[in-house]
Amino acid sequence: MTREKKIGILGGTFDPIHLGHLDVAQKAIEACALDEIVILPARHPPHRSTPPLASIHHRLAMAVTVSQSHNNFSTSTIESDSPAPSFTFLTLRRIEELGHSRQNIFFITGIDAFLEIKTWHNYPAVIDQSHFIVISRNGQSVLSLRKTFPDLIQRMRDPLKSPPTGSSPLSIWLVDGATRSISSSEIRKKLKIGETIEGLVPTTVKRYINDYNLYKD
């Protein structure tokens, strides 16, 4: 009997997708032995006060260029096809409806986003929809989450001590590790004033941005 694949869901606005996002994905793969990463661009990010600068068409296309150049990566249109706000709870429910077990879905997020988890749509039910992998960002250790969310300590796990399996209870997996401190807003600012974004985005994304003259006045 073959085991189900462990699938990591990497959601975000991706305006544009950059190497910091890929660092987070790689840390999740290494820590939890994921078999696949699904990049999931959001059409309408609910936590943003302003809409993304690039259209969902362009943001989805940039994500596709990344998934095509990485083994075991793919890009999903679950959120980009929907006119509704991209709530994680609804997305994870759709993924389950497609036949994937909650036990084998791992929602990947940085610590900066997870710190806002109690403001997410349908919290706390959302954390019962899948595993969560929380990655340190900008030097902020995920171990601090044990103090920030004492009510969630029983769900927090160290994948290095006890790697997730198909029978693991739905958990919050805490992963510390260096990731590049890059932001999409920083990239957009550089492009607007004509500065290079070398070393900030994958080569395919840089080429796409140049081909379509994105983020420039």
Residue predicted with more confidence, 83 or 65: 65
Q: Binning pLDDT at 50, 70 and 90, where does residue 1 land?
A: very low
pTM to 2 decimal places: 0.94
Q: Residue 157 has what pLDDT?
A: 96
The token pair at 158 is 């160290």
Residue predicted with more confidence, 108 or 46: 108
Q: Residue 150 has what pLDDT?
A: 97
> Which residues pair with residue 175 across a beta bridge?
135
Report pLDDT digits (tens) over 18-36.
Answer: 999 999 999 999 999 999 9
**Amino acid found at 100:** H
Q: Residue 10 has what pLDDT?
A: 97
Q: How far is CA 70 from CA 12, 39, 87, 150, 202, in A?
A: 18, 11, 27, 37, 11
The token pair at 120 is 């997410």
Nearest to 54 by CA among 191, 182, 180, 181: 191
The tokens 């909650």 sit on which residue?
102
Q: Domain 7-181 maps to which CATH number in 2.60.40.290, 3.40.50.170, 3.40.1050.10, 3.40.50.620?
A: 3.40.50.620
Q: Residue 189 has what pLDDT?
A: 96
Report pLDDT digits (tens) over 115-168.
Answer: 999 999 999 999 999 999 999 987 789 999 999 999 999 999 999 898 898 788
> Which residues pair with residue 68 across a beta bridge?
none
- Residue 145, helix vs strand vs coil: helix
Name 196's Cβ contacts closer than 8 Å, sequence gap at least 6. 190
The token pair at 99 is 């036949």
Distance CA 123, CA 131 (A): 14
Distance CA 111, CA 177 (A): 11
Q: Binning pLDDT at 50, 70 and 90, where does residue 3 land?
A: low
Domain boundaries, the chain: 7-181
